[in-house]
């Protein structure tokens, strides 16, 4: 019962803490309140789990909001902002974050080609930057249980569109397992279990 040597984490075809970055776009009160593709409380729990995974494995995080400086929208949800700490938030007016210069440069400056992508709404603020990133040679991993659309039809159609363009759909549990990869990596294993429990993955059976 012994693990193989850790393979090159930067060149690994799977997600690793050394080759991936997390993109978080528009988790603001107005956007959350317009989601109709899943339970909104569950949506918030799932993006929190995804953000905690990124912080646990020290992934670069690019955070963006829309129309905060114009006064039309409120900032990122406080529960999410607390997890992310003092990372910079790139506010913009463009629906497609990829068309915002500061956001675009922030993504490129991570040096990562694998983008774990989350955004509200699925049909716009996830789809458009995902398609642009794929066109530029990035690998895109939409976290399907941490994103939502204005309807279930809009959400599912958007996921089909990005998947057909080459995106690799994933979930927050899959992201956690892919980043951890081996229970013997004890420096993060206990935190992984804590995040799982927070998401209700492990039920109390005794």
pLDDT (tens digit per residue) in 82-111: 999 999 999 999 999 999 999 999 999 999
- pLDDT bin (cut points 50, 70, 90) of residue 198 is confident
* 200 or 9, greater pLDDT: 9
pLDDT beyond 80 at 201:
no
pLDDT beyond 90 at 127:
yes
What pLDDT shows up at residue 14?
96
Where in the sequence numbering do the catalytic residues fall?
A: 125
Torsion angle, CA of 111/112/113/119, rounded to 10 degrees?
-120
Q: What is the pLDDT of residues 6-19, one digit of tens each?
A: 788 888 999 999 99
Note whether 157 and 123 are within 8 A (CB): yes
- pLDDT bin (cut points 50, 70, 90) of residue 147 is very high
Q: CATH class for domain 20-198?
A: alpha beta
Note whether 83 and 55 are within 8 A (CB): yes
Residues 6+ apart with CB under 8 A from 108: none
Torsion angle, CA of 23/129/166/20, rounded to 10 degrees?
-20
- Could you state, in order of their start, the residue ranges of all structural domains in the chain? 20-198
């Amino acid at each position: 019962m012994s693990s193989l040597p850790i393979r090159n984490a930067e060149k690994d075809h799977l997600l690793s803490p050394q080759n991936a970055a997390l993109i978080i776009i528009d988790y603001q009160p107005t956007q959350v309140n317009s989601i109709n593709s899943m339970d909104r409380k569950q949506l918030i729990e799932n993006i929190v789990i995804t953000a905690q995974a990124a912080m646990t494995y020290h992934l670069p995080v690019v955070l963006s909001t829309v129309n905060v400086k114009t006064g039309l929208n409120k900032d990122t949800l406080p529960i999410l902002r607390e997890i992310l700490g003092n990372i910079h938030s790139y506010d913009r007016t463009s629906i497609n974050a990829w068309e915002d210069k500061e956001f675009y440069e922030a993504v490129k400056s991570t040096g990562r080609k694998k983008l774990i992508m989350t955004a509200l709404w699925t049909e716009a603020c996830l789809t458009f930057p995902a398609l642009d990133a794929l066109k530029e040679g990035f690998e895109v991993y939409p976290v399907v249980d941490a994103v939502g659309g204005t309807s279930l039809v809009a959400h599912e159609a958007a996921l089909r569109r990005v998947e057909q363009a080459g995106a690799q759909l994933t979930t927050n549990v899959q992201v956690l397992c892919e980043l951890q990869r081996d229970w013997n990596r004890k420096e993060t294993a206990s935190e992984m279990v804590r995040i799982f429990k927070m998401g209700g993955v492990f039920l109390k059976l005794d």
